[in-house]
Structure 1
């Protein structure tokens, strides 16, 4: 399996998405949004295609401005109260361990309370830098989350590798100037526009050294 040249590069940091990349929260997310949709008279079809987008942006698409704050509070409540069945995805634990002593971060479309709840429920050992949707003015697909993660790590975003599972997350990474590695965990391979695409993180290994971080085929 090739990585389309990523293996020839040295990165200053690795920036991970969370849901669908490190943690499988699909069932919990589906349950929460399905209930929210029913409560707001929306169909299942209307709720599709929003992977990787902050909840506030999804709510804004469907509710008038006067109802959006309440709508966001409600989906946050539903998601925080349902973290059952979360699983760490293959290779995620090993990937985080490999770069534990090197610059790395999670940049997620979750809010901070929800991100912490899902990390705790999954048992994932998260990096010290955690960027959430409530910390940036514009969430994915805007570049803000990845730019802020790079800033907090003190690195140039163009020397960062982003690991993502969603097309809009990859769009955010590219807009930030980062290299991209996509995992086929929630989206069909042909829909993932990245520098390299793998089934999941078990297909790669990260090597951190004095010069920086490299990614190799496992």
Structure 2
């Protein structure tokens, strides 16, 4: 997703987001739906490197500082930049670049502990990557994924539409209203909200200030998953507190 502009000094600052411990006090969930890039793994250096190479190849202005819309499906983003008859070829090119260059992709702090604290049947990854690209980044990072991984290949409409998170909840067999989405980008927040889920954001591709000031606001924010604790009660419900 494109980085949102910093508010000018004469505009009011967005309200600070409550921590998960405050926002979700007394509330429980049946499942956690995690975004991947910027939430579970850091792929930003590889993503930026590949898209800037792509921007150069397609003659886009300011290619050296080219910014993508993190979290938005690549084909959707490309369709905003190029004529319709170039979209598929350009999409195949960036997909090839990203499949073959994942140097520096790593697991973010807190990811392993978050997965370990949740039952396998109560967690899913919901990403805007294609299935091959998700597999490539998961492999490059060393992340052991949950059984349910929803990708851009699994839905007709990607984020910010609700379809990816609705499918994640369906595959886990839970009601979306009983799910917590963990995201790092405005399109993902909008998708989670539209699906009827609660949304926790972490800093990744966007700062908490940018996420708080986005058109669709999340419920809570944390600097990263290492600042969040998931605990499963005797009845199987999941509570979310500050670490």
Same fold (TM over 0.5): yes
Shift in Å, 1:202: 0.6
- Stretches of 4+ moved more than 4 A in 1? none
**How does 1:44-193 map onto structure 2 within 5 Å?**
44=62, 47-48=66-67, 50-192=69-211, 193=217
Rounded Cα–Cα distance in structure 2 between residues aligned with 1:54 and 1:42: 19
Specify which of 199, 204, 211 is matched with residue 236 of structure 2: 211
1:194 aligns with 2:203: no
TM-score (norm 2): 0.86
Gaps in structure 2 of 5+ consecutive residues: 1-17, 212-216
SS of the residue 1:15 aligns to: strand
Shift in Å, 1:59: 1.2
Rounded Cα–Cα distance in structure 2 between residues aligned with 1:90 and 1:7: 24
1:34 and 1:44 in contact (8 A); partners too: no
Gaps in structure 1 of 5+ consecutive residues: none
Shift in Å, 1:20: 0.2
TM-score (norm 1): 0.95
Q: CA RMSD in A?
A: 1.5
40-49 or 16-25: bigger deviation: 40-49
Bigger Cα Rg = 2
